[in-house]
Amino acid sequence: MTVLITGNGHSGTTFTARLLMECGCDFGQGSPAAAWTEGNHAMEVPVIQAAAFLVARGDTSILPSALAQMPPFVKAPAIGWFLDTWLESGFKADLVVFCHRPIEDSIASILRMGGGYGGGALDDNQWARDRLYGQTGRLMATLWDRHIPFVTILFPAILDSDPSTVYGVFKPVLQCSEAAFGAAFQRIAHPDWVHIR
């Protein structure tokens, strides 16, 4: 089984991946979460991250190597932008976890953190809005057209959710009890440890 965690920048993909890793899901690179780097590409397998950005530029030559190293659970926001290309190259997603945050909030967070979109004020980033809306639309069209099962995680609203409700969303792909999931959720959803700016 392959579970893909994707979404726009600052939309909860790292939170979701850490939560599932805490529950024993295999993200490759050897766990635990403490061994992973922080930052924009936390918890991403380097060859998959590199492939995602090359595919975005039209270069699919690295895809066979990336697919050979694909762990059962993968956090890769950039795959979602061109999921159709990955599928045509042999990638099979049994479940896609689409992490979503209001686009204005994502852009504001990225700007506050000094990443991407050339800095500048939120009002000056219409092209960023167009890009994120376009990426989201392309991903959703691919999921619907290809009949790929998916769930949507709303971030940061998920932090205020009842852990048993969230467990129900992930139960088909988990190998832990509801109590273990609840304990992991309480550890990971700590406001000081979650990037919600």
Q: Using one digit for the tens of pLDDT, what is the confidence trace for 139-155? A: 999 999 999 999 999 99
Mean pLDDT of the region 70-90: 89
Strand partners, 153: 99
Spatial separation of the C-alpha atoms in residues 157 and 153, rounded to whole Å: 8
Instruction: Report CA Rg, the chain.
Output: 16
Nearest by Cα to 154 from 4, 16, 44, 2: 16
| Domains contained in the chain, CATH given | 3-190 (3.40.50.300)
pLDDT tens across 125-184, in order? 777 788 888 888 999 999 999 999 999 999 988 988 999 999 999 999 999 999 999 999
- pLDDT, position 30: 52
pLDDT tens across 3-46, in order? 999 998 788 888 899 899 999 999 886 544 444 444 445 667 77
Spatial separation of the C-alpha atoms in residues 18 and 109, rounded to whole Å: 20
